[in-house]
Amino acid sequence: MADRMLQFVSLAQRQPDKRASSMRREDFAEIYADFDPAQASAQSSRCSQCGVPFCQVHCPLANNIPDWLKLTAENRLQEAYEVSAATNTFPEICGRICPQDRLCEGNCVIEKGFESVTIGAVERFITDHAWEQGWVTGPKPRQERPQSVGIIGAGPGGLAAAERLRTLGYQVHVYDRYDRVGGLMIYGIPGFKLEKDIVLRRWKLLEDGGITFHLGVELGRNLSFAELRARHDSVLIATGVYKARDIGGPGSGLPGIETAMDFLTASNRKGLGDDVPEFDSGRLNAAGKRVVVIGGGDTAMDCVRTATRQGAASVACLYRRDKANMPGSMREVKNAEEEGVQFVWLSAPEAFLGDDHVTGVRVQRMRLGLTDSSGRQAVEATDSRMTLDADLVIKALGFDPEELPRLWDEPGLEVSRWGTLKVEHRTQMTMLPGVFAAGDIVRGASLVVWAIRDGRDAAARMHKYMQQGAMQVAAE
């Protein structure tokens, strides 16, 4: 079947069709159509099957991408799904929200004149087809183990660890302060990137596989950390980071200046059919407003694109560097531009205007200087200023960890100088025996795919810890 591959020399790259921007501004449905089997097979055949697959090297999960591309090209779709799912707990989610242009596709060895393989779209197709065919199953342990595991956080890292540990036969309990499973995937990421039934069906599959979820449970309020430790043989902290980074300056406390997570959560809850007073009152609703979003990452892109769908009068995105230095996905920037978002590059907020409510943002223009120690060009202020009218300002400057040792009254949880939890990186164990941590709470705000990787790794290390402990007890 080798002749099926290497088709990039004669077959052009093709992404799935996108709905017109005028149509997609009207709803929160996903903007990309699905490949059909013939399209998926053809696009997979463009893979060069290179000896050192940089796509795999640059995937946090080290997915066996060339293997499942070849199987898809040969129309062996069930095998392709099984290979994909062997390394990825949620391939249907990663296929939708991973920034492939920065990871696998961005490192494809096919020369840019021929364009990379459409890896993300094929990954999405394989798993969606597997769901349709009934090939996707929940965890099926070969044996039941007596040890109990408590996982704090039902986001991607916690769920990935839960699935691995349940497959190994442990009694897995997941605790989350929200009323649904999924964390950022449910409440942070808009439906036009990840429709919520994609996450909710995984929740049901995990529940059917024997994982117990305790929702609406907030540690330090409903349950103490000490009580949770006493319930379980091992504990994983996978809370993520949700504390919004703030911005100072005159007027920064004015009403009408909101955080990205509050804005996105209100929008997603409304889409899920919840009663959201902050949305209905207009506070977290962009309808008819002049919106300014501050930030240049993927969260900022989620905010600007959500605001356009809510019917904002105008949407502008302020970023202090230029487009080439934008940390967000270029694919998302292009989608936002198509949907009418105005990008104001090389600009930083200097002050927020208004008396009892924000009415504008005074902006200082910036320029790029020499490259600094981080490898990025330094940003320098200029004497040029401008004012942007605004009825709603959204801060999308990233996230920091909550102060868990203080919130949970557990000084034994040590933190780094960045506020993240300290772990022994070979084991992912905190300074407390049997207490592990994974995902953003350890590495800082990052990608969903990295949380999945960390959760899977933590599960393997927790398994080793519990089995070594059992062996030591038996020896005594």
* CATH number where 34 lies: 1.10.1060.10
In a structure prediction context, what are the per-residue pLDDT tens digits for the chain, which is 476 residues long?
446 777 787 888 999 999 999 999 999 999 999 999 999 999 999 999 998 999 999 999 999 999 999 999 999 999 999 999 999 999 999 999 999 999 999 999 997 777 899 999 999 999 999 999 999 999 999 999 999 999 999 999 999 999 999 999 999 999 999 999 999 999 999 999 999 999 999 999 999 999 999 999 999 898 999 999 999 999 999 999 988 999 889 999 999 999 999 999 999 999 999 999 999 999 999 999 999 999 999 999 999 999 999 999 999 999 999 998 888 889 999 999 999 999 999 999 999 999 999 999 999 999 998 887 777 888 899 999 999 999 999 999 999 998 898 889 999 999 999 999 999 999 999 999 999 999 999 999 999 999 999 999 999 999 999 998 755 434 43
114 and 27 in a common domain: yes
Over pLDDT 90: what percentage of the chain? 86
Do 99 and 230 share a domain, yes or no?
Answer: no
Helix-strand-coil split of the chain, %, nearest 5: 40, 20, 45
216 and 271 co-located in one domain? no
Do 391 and 410 sit in the same domain of this protein? no
Across the strands, what pairs with 149? 172, 234
- Same domain for 420 and 289, yes or no, is no
pLDDT on residue 4: 73
pLDDT at residue 476, rounded to an integer: 35
For residue 394, what are the contacts with CB-CB under 8 A and spacing of at least 6? 258, 259, 260, 263, 291, 292, 293, 294, 303, 307
| 473 burial type by CB count under 10 A (0-12 exposed, 13-18 middle, 19+ buried) | exposed
Of 161, 237, 166, the closest CA to residue 208 belongs to 166
Our count of domains for the chain comes to 3
Report pLDDT for 473.
36
Q: Alpha carbon of 15 to those of 117, 118, 119, 234: distances in Å?
A: 9, 6, 10, 44
**pTM for the whole structure:** 0.93
Domain boundary among 76, 99, 133: 133
Residues 300 and 200 in one domain: no
Q: Residues 120, 211: one domain?
A: no
In a domain, 418, yes or no: yes
- Pairing between strand 392-395 and 377-389? unpaired
Q: Residue 391's domain is classified under what CATH number?
A: 3.50.50.60
How far is Cα 67 from Cα 35, in angstroms, rounded to an integer?
19
Among the three residues 77, 107, 133, which one is the final residue of a domain in this structure?
A: 133
d(CA 137, CA 158): 18
| Structure confidence at residue 474 (pLDDT) | 40
Q: Based on the fold, state whether residues 229 and 121 are members of the same structural domain.
A: no
Give Cβ neighbours of residue 382 (< 8 Å, ≥ 6 apart): 364, 365, 366, 367
Structure tokens of 79?
């095998």
Judge whether 143 lies within some domain: no
The verdict on residue 141 lying in a domain is: no
Looking at the structure, tell me whether residues 71 and 200 fall in a common domain.
Answer: no
Return the residue matching tokens 């320029």.
367
Both 28 and 118 in a single domain? yes
Are 374 and 413 in a shared domain? no
Q: Which of these three, 395, 420, 449, is where a domain ends?
A: 395
Residues 361 and 235 placed together within one structural domain of the fold = no
Residue 84: domain span? 2-133
What is the pLDDT at residue 3?
A: 60
Within a domain: 140: no
Would you say residue 459 lies in a domain?
A: yes
